[in-house]
Chain A
Amino acid sequence: MQTLSWLCLLLPLAGVALLALAGTRITREQAAWLGTGFAFASFLSAAAVFFQVLGEGSSRREHVFTLYTWAGSAGLTVPLSIQIDQLSVVEMLIVAGVGALIVMYSIGYMHGDPKQRRFFAYLDLFLFSMLLLVMAGNFLLLLAGWGLVGLSSYLLIGFWHEQEAPVQAAKKAFVMNAIGDVGIAVAIFFMVRDLGTTDYQSVFHGAAAGIGRGSADANWIAIGLLVGAVAKSAQIPLHTWLPDAMEGPTPVSALIHAATMVTAGVYLVARAHVLFELAPDVQRLVAVLGVATLLMAGVIALVQTDIKRIIAYSTMSQIGYMFAAVGTGAYAAGMFHLLTHAFFKALLFLGAGIVIHALANEQDVRKMGGLSKALPRTTMLMWVGTIALIGFFPLSKDEILAGDLHHGGGMGWLVFVGGLVGAAFTGIYAVRLMRLVFYGEQSQHVKEHLHAEHGEAPWTMFWPVAALAAGALLSGLLAVGFGITNVFAEFLSQAAPNIDPTAGEDVVTTLLAWALGAGGGYYVWRLYDSPARVVAVRRRFETMATIAEAKFGWDELYSNIGYRPAVWTARTLDRLVERWVIGGSIWVTRTIVDTVARGTSAAQSGVVRQYATVLAAGAAVLAVYFLGKASL
């Protein structure tokens, strides 16, 4: 198992090295298939590890493999170690599995792009980073993976760096993620100070005694980790980078900004749940942020017109559910939603990618319409994703809400009610997307650019999407709901506990969520039958819609409190300090040197003999001086 685990981690890295070293010696197609091959090999290793973990007794499912001591210092030893347990093996499967499918999809999507080789190297680099993040055996290695996924995300968002927008988006994402990295670093500092170790096992076992429940240090550690989680998972208040990140290629959006990286925050909270339970206030904050994000993102998704941004806000909203779950102690439910979400959100993104591909890179849903005839298979797959997103099946969202209903108390009800409202929003924006893109009249743009004879998509693009659809539906069987045995939660129970609702609560929640989702979906389906009614509804909610279109003003807020003061400070410093203090001192120095040089340059006649004379005269004078001194 040890070898397989390291293989799973290092195969993508080997792919990066190979692709980087091979350069142009291999063709673009070879590079693409090579990248895909390494990703699939990594997935096979992950699957093998999973079955080995599954085959063991439930008591011995935690393995720490240490390669060597990575960093040693006085009283602190950080080994280069990976931890394989139920939680990380689930994440490994998601990352390597969904990752491999999306890398394969990219073969078709990126076909003909001159930078294809680099793209696949970046994708493999991301897979390695993400696997490092989920497999790390201590917090420092986790931070290394955390930073590396930030880097590969930056590289991939800004992949089309010839254009302005992707570069800006990449910078934004990188800066926001860096804030999160700092948060985790601070948390690690506290751990080292209080516990003298960063190993998961030692930290979790020693935390209760070494830090203490509800103590200031416990709160600081939890807040530091929360900042990291919030930044990576695009939750309020560090969420503004995610919609902009859609400037990257669509497979990147699917892989990094839907299925894997953005859910790392959820994984972190579930992984470090021991630490969060020591700081109940911070854990409540996790849930509150999750609910706030899921509602806000749901509202913004209602008014977006860019197909990828709709899905991006939907992603934020769904991660809000996961945060709400892990914030109230339903870790397994949160992880289960993470799993199903990885499938159906990647499916939606890749489906959207097929649509964008077919319409010559058009992303505005208002310019689409009536595509169901041209793209019947894509439509079908997108419906599967939509059904999963709204929560008809799998019932991962209802699992969270039922858990919180069972949890009770203020937090439980907040999550329960907020989640149900969010379910209605989900139904509305998900069906609105399907309605606008695949049904109704074909727009002028569609008529011009859609070429039926091209077929829907190459098989390398279609089959990964189909596999994801199958995964989305089959993963639902792991926890059917309605009180039927929750296989998934049982498997995870040691690494990430769960709140098990009663069958009654489960049924009630599910029925309510179905009703709200279906109601919202049906409403919006009918609404778009007549444009006049759309306008009327829009007019009735004018204020709300304006706020939503302004994305609740977060960007302006950050611009006003961060960017503009910084620019003002820089300009002021430039005007005052740079120009007068620094420039002035340089001017003074220059003037002095210049004047002295001009005065003395007259002595530089260029006549060598003159120099020699002066030299000899100086020597003679010095000799007189020394003679006089010696004779005295």
Chain B
Amino acid sequence: MHIGVEYFVSLSAIIFGIGLFGVFTRRSPLILLLSVELMLNACNLSLVAFSRYWGEQSGQVFALVVMGIAASEVVVGLGLVVAVARRKAELDVDRMTTLKN
């Protein structure tokens, strides 16, 4: 059996799907952020896999950029979670509907 790029990409898709499922079902903003991290990492995996496939390093460079973006997202996301937690007792994304309408 030769482990080709399609295995890596399929694995990446599975992890992405799991993350997506988490985003759809979980209501705690923290777990939501974790799920998003999962999805970002799945994307990274396919980037790296295709990078190897083509023998071209751009994919790895952009995987690094995605890491930076994920880090920023975590900083702001966690900051928001903490700010919300300070004001309201319940951390439930379904009840944070201030931007409704």
CB distance from A309 to the nearest CB of B (A): 68
In the bound complex, residues from chain A placing their C-beta under 8 Å from that of B97 are 605-607
Residue B87, interface by CB 8 Å: no
- The proximity string for A residues 452-495 relative to B, scoring 1 for CB distances below 8 Å and 0 otherwise, is 00000000000000000000000000000000000000000000
Select which of A601, A606, A607, A609 is within 8 A of B23 by beta carbon: A609
- The proximity string for B residues 67-101 relative to A, scoring 1 for CB distances below 8 Å and 0 otherwise, is 00000000000000000000000000110111111
User: Is the Cβ of B94 less than 8 Å from the Cβ of A609?
Assistant: yes
In the bound complex, residues from chain A placing their C-beta under 8 Å from that of B99 are 604, 606
CB distance from B14 to the nearest CB of A (A): 15
User: Is the Cβ of A608 less than 8 Å from the Cβ of B93?
Assistant: yes
User: Is the Cβ of A606 less than 8 Å from the Cβ of B24?
Assistant: no
Residue B18, interface by CB 8 Å: no
Residue B20, interface by CB 8 Å: yes
- The proximity string for A residues 592-629 relative to B, scoring 1 for CB distances below 8 Å and 0 otherwise, is 00000000011011111100110010000000000000
User: Is the Cβ of A612 less than 8 Å from the Cβ of B24?
Assistant: yes
**Which residue among A604, A606, A613 has the maximum number of chain B CB atoms within 10 Å of its CB?**
A606
In the bound complex, residues from chain A placing their C-beta under 8 Å from that of B32 are 608-609
User: Is the Cβ of B93 less than 8 Å from the Cβ of A607?
Assistant: yes
Select which of A606, A609, A612, A616 is within 8 A of B100 by beta carbon: A606
In residues 7-34 of chain B, which contact A (Cβ within 8 Å)?
20, 23-24, 27, 32
A608 to B27 alpha-carbon distance, docked (Å): 10
CB distance from B32 to the nearest CB of A (A): 8
Asked whether A604 and B24 contact (CB < 8 A) given A609-B93, A609-B94, the answer is no
User: Is the Cβ of B96 less than 8 Å from the Cβ of A608?
Assistant: yes
CB distance from A124 to the nearest CB of B (A): 60
In the bound complex, residues from chain B placing their C-beta under 8 Å from that of A612 are 23-24
In the bound complex, residues from chain B placing their C-beta under 8 Å from that of A606 are 96-101
Residue of A with least CB distance to B26: A609
User: Is the Cβ of B96 less than 8 Å from the Cβ of A616?
Assistant: no
Residue of A with least CB distance to B101: A601
Residue of A with least CB distance to B98: A606
Residue of A with least CB distance to B25: A609
**Which residue among A601, A609, A613 has the maximum number of chain B CB atoms within 10 Å of its CB?**
A609
User: Is the Cβ of B24 less than 8 Å from the Cβ of A609?
Assistant: yes
Residues of B within 8 Å of A, CB-based: how many?
A: 13
User: Is the Cβ of B101 less than 8 Å from the Cβ of A602?
Assistant: yes
A557 to B3 alpha-carbon distance, docked (Å): 98
A616 to B24 alpha-carbon distance, docked (Å): 10
User: Is the Cβ of B24 less than 8 Å from the Cβ of A613?
Assistant: yes
Residue of A with least CB distance to B29: A608
In the bound complex, residues from chain B placing their C-beta under 8 Å from that of A608 are 32, 93, 96
CB distance from A363 to the nearest CB of B (A): 67
In the bound complex, residues from chain A placing their C-beta under 8 Å from that of B96 are 606, 608
In the bound complex, residues from chain A placing their C-beta under 8 Å from that of B98 are 606
A609 to B24 alpha-carbon distance, docked (Å): 6
A605 to B94 alpha-carbon distance, docked (Å): 10
A553 to B20 alpha-carbon distance, docked (Å): 86
CB distance from A270 to the nearest CB of B (A): 77
In the bound complex, residues from chain B placing their C-beta under 8 Å from that of A607 are 93-94, 97
A616 to B25 alpha-carbon distance, docked (Å): 13
User: Is the Cβ of B101 less than 8 Å from the Cβ of A604?
Assistant: yes
A602 to B20 alpha-carbon distance, docked (Å): 25
CB distance from B98 to the nearest CB of A (A): 7
Residue of B with least CB distance to A603: B101
In the bound complex, residues from chain B placing their C-beta under 8 Å from that of A604 are 99-101
A609 to B92 alpha-carbon distance, docked (Å): 11
A500 to B27 alpha-carbon distance, docked (Å): 108
Residue of B with least CB distance to A610: B94
In the bound complex, residues from chain A placing their C-beta under 8 Å from that of B24 are 609, 612-613, 616
Residue of A with least CB distance to B95: A607
In the bound complex, residues from chain B placing their C-beta under 8 Å from that of A605 are 97, 100
CB distance from B20 to the nearest CB of A (A): 6
Residue of A with least CB distance to B35: A612
A608 to B77 alpha-carbon distance, docked (Å): 13
CB distance from B27 to the nearest CB of A (A): 8
CB distance from B61 to the nearest CB of A (A): 25
CB distance from A262 to the nearest CB of B (A): 68
A29 to B55 alpha-carbon distance, docked (Å): 83
In the bound complex, residues from chain B placing their C-beta under 8 Å from that of A602 are 101
A616 to B22 alpha-carbon distance, docked (Å): 13
In the bound complex, residues from chain A placing their C-beta under 8 Å from that of B27 are 609
CB distance from A400 to the nearest CB of B (A): 84
Residue of B with least CB distance to A605: B100
User: Is the Cβ of B20 less than 8 Å from the Cβ of A616?
Assistant: yes
A613 to B20 alpha-carbon distance, docked (Å): 9
CB distance from B31 to the nearest CB of A (A): 12
A608 to B97 alpha-carbon distance, docked (Å): 8
Residue of B with least CB distance to A597: B101
CB distance from A269 to the nearest CB of B (A): 74
CB distance from A271 to the nearest CB of B (A): 73
A362 to B27 alpha-carbon distance, docked (Å): 84
In the bound complex, residues from chain A placing their C-beta under 8 Å from that of B100 are 604-606
A268 to B31 alpha-carbon distance, docked (Å): 87
A132 to B39 alpha-carbon distance, docked (Å): 75
In the bound complex, residues from chain B placing their C-beta under 8 Å from that of A616 are 20, 24
CB distance from B22 to the nearest CB of A (A): 10
A405 to B23 alpha-carbon distance, docked (Å): 107
In the bound complex, residues from chain A placing their C-beta under 8 Å from that of B94 are 607, 609
A607 to B100 alpha-carbon distance, docked (Å): 8
A609 to B98 alpha-carbon distance, docked (Å): 14
State the A residues within 8 Å of B (CB): 601-602, 604-609, 612-613, 616
Contact sample, A vs B, 13 pairs, CB 8 Å cutoff: A601-B101, A605-B100, A606-B96, A606-B97, A606-B99, A606-B100, A606-B101, A607-B94, A607-B97, A608-B93, A609-B23, A609-B27, A613-B24
State the B residues within 8 Å of A (CB): 20, 23-24, 27, 32, 93-94, 96-101
| A-B CB proximity, top 8 nearest | A606-B97, A606-B100, A601-B101, A606-B99, A612-B23, A608-B93, A607-B94, A604-B101
13 further interface pairs, Cβ-Cβ under 8 Å (given A605-B97, A616-B24): A602-B101, A605-B100, A606-B96, A606-B98, A606-B101, A607-B93, A608-B93, A608-B96, A609-B23, A609-B27, A609-B32, A612-B24, A613-B24
